[in-house]
């Protein structure tokens, strides 16, 4: 199983990577990015992963804009400290 992580805060990226590695040692973390633009580019150029873990509030905007630009063919698990995005996250994916 392959996973991508979209996260712009290095401590949060390290912690999520650590948690995933501990819970699923065979999970392949194939790609990590901190921006909307690089994620859109990757989704257009690379094979889609089995799952994406995505922060919502990124330095260059809300990750929801990714899914407005590219059709997602895998589950997205939103990882955020902002509870106000919960309903919108369910509507997106």
Positions of E strands within the chain: 2-6, 28-33, 51-54, 57-58, 61-62, 76-78
pLDDT value for 57 = 87
- Between 36 and 79, residue with greater pLDDT: 36
pLDDT value for 72 = 84
pLDDT, tens digit (0-9, with 9 covering 90-100), for 41-87: 999 999 999 999 999 889 899 998 998 999 888 999 988 766 665 65
pLDDT value for 27 = 92
């Amino acid at each position: 199983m392959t996973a991508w992580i979209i996260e712009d805060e290095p401590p949060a990226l390290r912690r999520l990577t650590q948690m995933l590695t501990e819970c699923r040692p065979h999970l392949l973390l194939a790609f990590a990015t901190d921006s909307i633009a690089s994620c859109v580019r990757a989704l257009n150029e690379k094979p889609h992963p089995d799952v994406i873990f995505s922060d919502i509030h990124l330095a260059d905007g809300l990750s929801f804009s990714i899914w407005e630009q590219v059709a997602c063919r895998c589950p997205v698990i939103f990882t955020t400290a902002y509870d106000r995005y919960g309903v919108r996250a369910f509507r997106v994916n």
